[in-house]
A and B are shown apart, each in its own frame.
Chain A
Amino acid sequence: MDTIQFILNGMMREALSPQTAAVAIAVIGLNIHFGFTGLLNMGQSGFMLLGAYGFAISIWHGLPMIVGVLFGFGAAFIFALVLGAPTLKLRGDYLAIVTISAAEIIRYVGRSALLVDFTGSAQGIPGSQYRTPFANLSFFGSGQFTLIPFNYTDVADGAAWVRIIGWLVAIAVIVLIVLRFRSGGAFRGIAQAAGMVGLLVFGLLLLFFLFPVPQQSTGVNGWWVRFVAWILVAVSTLVVYLLVRSPWGRLLRGIREDEDAVRSLGKNVFSIKMQALIIGGLFGALGGIVYVLPASVQPDSMGRSLTFFCYTALLLGGAATIFGPVLGSVLFFAARIGIKYTAAAYVPDSIMNNQQTEQFSYIVVGVALMLIVIFRPQGILGNKRELRFNV
């Protein structure tokens, strides 16, 4: 029981972590590229790295934080322009090739010893060099707290039956939420929307009750970073929702289906694809900034594998959906930690040691991606009629 509680707590901690939120923001951007416009951007980690570098280097060299954020966005903006200008007139495959190599170029330039005064080369930039202005913004005070002050240990001393009943209720709530989402009309009408919001809030509170996660209020990796990161996820989701429900979003979907048809209707396809590439890239840069806030800027931590994690999260949650990127990121990271902890707890060291469980979790991720694409190409929230995994 305690082992299970430990594993689930670990998953909860990972699901809430600012890096999960950071990847969720990058996936929201990738969703604009791949999900809505059909642009096969294989270098989202390059956008993230540029955002992180722009932010960290500026602050490290004494510029104010807001300027750092603008530099991060500016770098991603120029990167998108440079990548898009030659490739967006060609077939989609070319963008994929160019983005994957350009992202690698950014990473290798970052690692290069020539730029050690700016990027810190392969060692990266330690968080202490750029984190202070952000941490100083905190109004959370000091100390440690869990998210809701009331958890399972307060009922019958945290007896096993309390937790088991709680877990069953949580699973039921999750299933109910997913079913209502898939039925389509989740937010149609005030009663429906209120019911849905109620379910979501209840489910979240229940999760925090069952898996209390204590964190520092401010600190390097505390509630302050999490608070800001998840607010940014919510804002990004809202912005994407506003964008894709509009005629502009309709253009994106039209381009995804058939560029020539949209062109024949008098729309400037190149310009719209460029706009989509830039907007998605800016979300990537924002994700990169959030990604390095609780850690340090390590070029190797934002390499190809991060791009593929983004794709896995996107396909898991459902491409071309509003909440798919967030759901996919949370599930992806939580599940990976779940696999890792489970393997560590139940598989003897003689078969698989701690280092191997880490690798094993990535193998499972790869297999999971394949299974999603084969058996549920539209992801958890997606509509099969609207999008299949067809590149």
Chain B
Amino acid sequence: MSDHMTQPAVGAMADPAARLALTSGFEATPGATKPDAILRVDNIVRQFGGMTAVDVQHLEVQRGLITALIGPNGAGKTTFFNLITGFDKPTTAGKGAHWEFDGRTIDKTSASSVARSGMVRTFQLTKALSAMTVIDNMMLGAQDQAGENLFKSMFRGTWGKQEKENEAKADELLARFKLLEKKHDYAGSLSGGQRKLLEMARALMSDPKMIMLDEPMAGVNPALTQSLLGHIQNLRDEGMTVLFVEHDMHVVRHISDWVAVMAEGRLVAEGSADTVMSDPAVIDAYLGAHHDTDLGDDALLTDEALEELAEEVAAEDAVRQAEEEAEGPK
């Protein structure tokens, strides 16, 4: 494994042409069947009381690609994540809910077994273990540690060597995520962005086949966002499958090979970033007519732009009012 870490192996999907070949040749409809899917999800429903948070009929995630799961707030993205990683149970459990990862059915598997099978996740609210040091955080991520057995743990001889190997691996990952100088600091002393990096590095300690990132870019400054995006691309280029949740389309646009859009718990569109962004269903459900306008752009603050916006808002109001009047009082 250490060979793999020292010389990042170049996966087949580092080649854009290979990715394009994989993502074309089938119709990009919601729930499309795709070649070489690593994760297949069927008929997964989760209700909270009367509210249906997730209702996904079919979704496939392809091996070796970066797939983005986007959608507005409350679309059920995180709930969907929790379901497939075993942190939540679907309401339809036993009634046709089925999902498999890398050919292995995992719909009744506990969260820890899902992680052991090679699908490791991170959390939207970072779960860095703040009263432990950075290196202890990292070491927790390593799999199959002999020293985690209660009886062996008392005898260093049974786990000392493995511990050294794991630590060397952790050092490499920390260096890659620029956290090495923080190795012996408590994770609680890291900044929010560094905690995101630590969580990602910790997940990589287990050499996952697929990494699931829940809003890795939330609350991170633009420079660090760039670096995070770079890390995600590197993971893909090394042959890992990445599925990540994001609600900012502009962040997703540059790096994702495939985008799945969720709204109100359902899968409304799939396709490459550009196709999805021009899909009327997506614009309607999520992006809005002004999705191309960067709200941080000064151009928006010019008088003409503001007037134009005000006119549009007034026009929309008028239309809505007319509709309400047409429907009549209830």
A365 at the interface (CB under 8 A from B): no
Residue of B nearest to A385 (CB): B186
**Known pairs A261-B127, A265-B140. 13 more at Cβ < 8 A?**
A242-B154, A242-B155, A247-B139, A247-B147, A247-B153, A247-B163, A250-B140, A253-B136, A257-B129, A264-B123, A266-B115, A267-B112, A385-B186
Give 7 A-B contacts (CB < 8 Å), ordered by A residue: A242-B154, A243-B153, A260-B123, A260-B127, A266-B115, A266-B143, A268-B112
Q: Tell me the minimal C-beta distance from B113 to chain A in angstroms.
A: 8
**B window 93-144: CB within 8 A of A:** 110-113, 115-116, 120-123, 127-132, 136, 139-141, 143
Q: Contact residues of B with A, CB < 8 Å?
A: 85, 87, 110-113, 115-116, 120-123, 127-132, 136, 139-141, 143, 145-150, 153-156, 159, 163, 186, 188, 202-203, 205-206
User: Does A93 sit at the interface, judged by CB under 8 A?
Assistant: no
User: What sequence of 0s and 1s flags, for each residue 214-240 of chain A, a beta carbon within 8 Å of any chain B beta carbon?
Assistant: 000000000000000000000000010
Instruction: Give the nearest-CB partner of B141 in chain A.
Output: A265
Interface contacts (Cβ under 8 Å), in number, total 103
Residue from B112, B147, B202 within 8 A of A263 (CB atoms): B112
Complex interface: chain B residues within 8 A of A239 (CB): 154
User: How many angstroms from the CA of A262 to the CA of B131 in the assembled complex?
Assistant: 14
Question: Is B115's CB under 8 angstroms from A250's CB?
Answer: no
B209 smallest CB distance to A (angstroms)? 13
Counting chain A residues whose Cβ lies within 8 A of the other chain, the interface size class is 20 to 34
The distance in angstroms between the C-alpha atoms of A261 and B62, with both chains bound, is 26
Whether B112 contacts A269 by the Cβ 8 Å rule is yes
Q: Is B131 within 8 A of A247, CB to CB?
A: no
B169 to chain A, nearest CB (A): 14
Query: Within the assembled complex, what's the spacing in Å between the Cα atoms of A388 and B201?
Result: 27
- Least distance between B212 CB and chain A CB atoms (Å): 9
A339-B186 Cα distance, complex, nearest whole Å:
40
Please indicate the chain B residues that have their CB under 8 angstroms from the CB of A266 in the complex.
112-113, 115-116, 120, 143, 206
Given contacts A248-B149, A248-B150, A264-B115, contact A386 B140 (CB under 8 A): no
Distance between A250 CB and nearest chain B CB, rounded to angstroms = 6
Q: Does A279 sit within 8 A of B, measured CB to CB?
A: yes
Contact partner of A267 (CB less than 8 A), chosen from B127, B140, B186, is: B140
B132 contacts A265, CB within 8 Å? no
Contact A265 B202 (CB under 8 A): yes
**Do the beta carbons of B111 and A250 come within 8 Å of each other?**
no
Which of A254, A264, A272 has the most CB atoms of chain B within a 10 A radius of its CB?
A264
Q: A138 interface residue, CB < 8 Å from B?
A: no
Specify the main secondary structure of chain A where it touches its partner. Answer: helix
Contact in complex: B132, A257 (CB < 8 Å)? yes
A265 touches B115 (CB 8 A): yes
Residues on A with beta carbons closer than 8 Å to the beta carbon of B115:
263-266
- Which residues of chain A come closer than 8 Å to B123, judged between CB atoms? 260-261, 264
Minimal beta-carbon separation of B65 from chain A (angstroms): 22
- Whether A258 contacts B129 by the Cβ 8 Å rule is yes
Contacts of A354 in B (CB 8 A): none
Q: How far is the CA of A160 from the CA of B130 in the complex (A)?
A: 52
CB distance from B295 to the nearest CB of A (A): 34
Within 8 A of B (CB), among A32-58: none
Report the separation of the CA atoms of residues A242 and B127 in the bound assembly, to the nearest whole angstrom: 27
CA distance A242 to B158 in the complex (A): 13
Query: Once bound together, how far apart are the Cα atoms of A391 and B146, in whole Å?
Result: 30
Chain A residues within 8 Å of B186, by CB: 385-386
- Residues of B contacting A250 with CB < 8 Å? 132, 136, 139-140
Select B140's contact among A243, A246, A254, A260, beta carbons within 8 Å: A254
Known: A261-B123, A266-B116, A385-B186. A253 touches B159 (CB 8 A): no
Question: Known interface pairs A247-B163, A385-B188. Does A254 touch B129 (Cβ–Cβ under 8 Å)?
Answer: yes
Known contacts A253-B132, A266-B206, A248 near B153 by CB under 8 Å: yes
| Complex CA–CA separation, A258 to B130 (angstroms) | 9
Contact A247 B159 (CB under 8 A): yes
Whether B145 contacts A247 by the Cβ 8 Å rule is yes
Q: How far is the CA of A242 from the CA of B152 in the complex (A)?
A: 10
User: Which residues of chain B are within 8 angstroms of A385 by Cβ–Cβ distance?
Assistant: 131, 186, 188
Complexed CA–CA distance, A279 and B115 (Å): 27
Question: Could you tell me if A251 and B131 are in contact, using CB atoms closer than 8 angstroms?
Answer: no
Chain B residue, CB-CB nearest to A242: B154
A45 to chain B minimum Cβ distance, whole angstroms, is: 25
Q: How far is the CA of A261 from the CA of B140 in the complex (A)?
A: 10
Q: Which chain B residue has the least Cβ–Cβ distance from A388?
A: B131
Contact of A264 among B121, B131, B132, B155 (CB under 8 A): B121
Is A249 an interface residue, CB under 8 A from the partner? yes
Roughly how many angstroms separate A267 CA and B147 CA in the complex, as a whole number?
A: 13
The answer to the question of A387 belonging to the interface, with a C-beta cut-off of 8 Å to chain B, is yes
Residue of A243, A249, A258 with most partner-chain B CB within 10 A: A258
194-222 of chain A: CB within 8 A of chain B: none
Assuming the A-B contacts A257-B131, A265-B120, A265-B141, are A249 and B111 also in contact, with contact meaning beta carbons closer than 8 angstroms in the complex?
A: no
Query: How distant is the Cα of A385 from the Cα of B131 in the complex, in angstroms?
Result: 6
Residue in chain A with minimal CB distance to B205: A265
A272 to B141 alpha-carbon distance, docked (Å): 15
Known contacts A247-B163, A266-B112, A261 near B85 by CB under 8 Å? no
On chain B, the residues within 8 Å of A253 by CB distance are: 129, 131-132, 136
A123 within 8 A of B: no
Residues of chain A lying within 8 A (CB to CB) of residue B131: 253, 256-257, 385-387
A386–B189 Cα distance when bound, in Å, is 12
Instruction: Choose among B115, B129, B139, B206 the residue with the greatest number of A CB atoms under 10 Å from its CB.
Output: B129
